[in-house]
Amino acid sequence: MYNESFENFQYDSCISKGICSLNPKISALQTVLVLYLRNFAKYAIEIPYENIDENIKNFILETIAIAIYNTDFSEESFINIVKNFRKSLPEIMQQYFKLYPETDIDKEKSKPLELFRETTDIIKSIRFGEKIFIRGQENLPSNIRDLYNTMLVIANSIAINLLDLKTYNKDSEQGFLSILKLLSKINIEEQSIELLKEEINQAAAIDKELMFLLHKCQEEKFGEQSPSEVSYSTTPGKAVLVVGSNIKELEEILESLKDFKIDVYTHDDMMLAHTFPKFRQYSGLKGQFGLGLESCLIDFATFPGPIIITKHSLRNIENFYRGRLFTTDNNIPKGVIKIVNNNFDEVIDSAQQSRGFKTGKQCESVNIGYDYKSKIEEIEEKLKTNNYNHIFFIGLDGYSLEQKVYYEKLIKITPKNVLIISFSYNNNQENLIHINACFDSFSILRFFEKFKNDNIGKTVFIPKCERNSLSQMIYFANTPNTNVFVGKCLPIILNPTLMHTLNKLFKITLTTSSKKDIESLDGIK
């Protein structure tokens, strides 16, 4: 287990300091951005994909990355986005009018006018966003609102996957059009629940394909993933911390710093890079620092050098030390320094001026990663030689005390005719196969896809929610003969009302007690 040394660490700054929460001002501004996106999608969905300018496509994807899930963006970022919409929205409408000349042009042009008029400055935009939000609360049934929120979350997952794919020079027309379809279906008028569910299921399936394509690009670029030993020790010297999940950016950082005496440490999801052979070639990549997202306040405050936040990282850095924070993202929160055109000169200067690690500290290394082919063979052999009638897939966990108790008991009381494929816990019992997935949230999807068509019941447990989790759990739930349980997630990702809708409409269930949840499954004794 990759972080067994820290599993009893219970201080969660993500919750206690509100680092993963969303303040009302940001929420109102995001409501405005979503309204702009909806207006754009209404016309763009009718235009041939190749006719939409590539810069506009990138702008839309970046806006989605900011407008959904992002807990901290600057007023300057909002103003720049609105400015771009004032240019791109009329342009896309003009293309629409050329294709559909019978349109009542004057009537269509009048529709965005209120939006333009009410968003001329920040104060007006906040008030307008609050008004639109309240209107939706009053006029829409809660289950429709929750489906709209689900559509936005999946659109966000698809958009970020598309942006990551672009760094490998890959594109997906299907992915972009699925975003437009989702956005164009979101409005303040009641729609068919079944129609919205179908749109969500189709988008989740497309997002799944994008995740597989992204993983393929990563292995083609950095080598096939394999087990690796990762150090949690620190060594004396100047240092930089890299936060996020885009390993392509980590490569660019390592290349820029390789001729300087500056060590590089990964944080949270970036630990995954250590499983790719290419990154083991960089002597400056020392290991992993800190305990991850849930303790990022302490991790960032104690790191003695600059911190680079890569694109599309879920963070609210309001509580963090400014001046040492850099980002490659197009969204630049107040007090964070923008890295332009991958020029890391300011990061290098900051690292050299920082105190760095004076003496270093020795900590136990951890083993992460797995050999995919050998694990598949192990599972196939188990299924062939044992009379299993069900498979449990247990996903990545944050190892809170509550989750630890739940899953350790779940594994212990699971009947012997159930095969457990666990990406978190390992107790070496006969009916359990452990996949040392570390921060690799794609792994559970990868193994599930391999065995989804087997004539055997399946139950997927998702202990920890991440950016792709909602899309994944809907894909799992839409697969025949599959149950889905999800643990308590951060409210910004999965709030209680949305969880209720997911249970009612997609049969996704919140975990209760290990015994009760097992007893609720048909055919397991």
Nearest to 207 by CA among 237, 170, 175: 175
**What are the residue ranges of helices labelled H in 440-523?**
442-451, 469-477, 496-506, 514-519
How far apart CA 245 and CA 266 sit, in angstroms, is 10
Classify 150 as helix, strand or coil.
helix
The full set of domain ranges for the chain reads 19-221, 225-366, 370-519
Topology of domain 225-366, CATH: Rossmann fold (3.40.50)
- CATH 3.30.530.20 assigned to domain 370-519? The reply is no
How far apart CA 90 and CA 110 sit, in angstroms, is 11
φ, ψ at 483 (rounded to 5°): -105, 150
Classify 275 as helix, strand or coil.
helix
Q: Are the C-beta atoms of residues 395 and 425 closer than 8 Å to each other? A: no
pTM of the model: 0.90
Q: How far is CA 230 from CA 13, 118, 279, 291, in A?
A: 24, 52, 12, 14
Which residues are bridge partners to 432 per DSSP?
Answer: 420
Sheet holding 325-327, edge to edge: 285-288, 262-267, 238-243, 307-309, 325-327, 337-338
Which residues are bridge partners to 462 per DSSP?
Answer: 486
Which residues are bridge partners to 285 per DSSP?
Answer: 264
Token pair recorded at residue 37: 């996106």
- Measure CA 450 to chain center: 22
Q: Are the C-beta atoms of residues 34 and 322 closer than 8 Å to each other? A: no
260 CB contacts (<8 Å, ≥6 apart)? 348, 351, 352
Fold agreement between 225-366 and 370-519:
yes
**Residue labelled with tokens 């070639």:** 281
The distance in angstroms from the start CA to the end CA of the chain is: 29
Token pair recorded at residue 215: 């993983």
pLDDT in tens, the chain (525 residues): 334 333 433 444 444 444 445 577 888 999 999 999 999 999 999 999 999 999 999 999 999 988 876 656 678 888 999 999 999 999 999 999 999 999 888 888 888 888 999 999 999 999 999 999 888 888 888 888 899 989 999 999 999 999 999 999 999 999 999 999 999 998 756 578 999 999 999 999 999 999 999 999 999 999 999 999 999 999 999 999 999 888 999 999 999 999 999 999 999 889 999 999 999 999 999 999 987 766 777 888 889 999 998 887 755 554 455 568 898 887 777 778 889 888 999 999 999 999 999 988 999 999 999 999 999 999 999 999 998 999 999 998 876 778 889 999 999 999 999 999 999 988 889 999 999 998 888 999 999 999 998 889 999 999 988 888 999 999 999 999 999 999 887 666 777 788 888 999 999 999 999 999 999 998 776
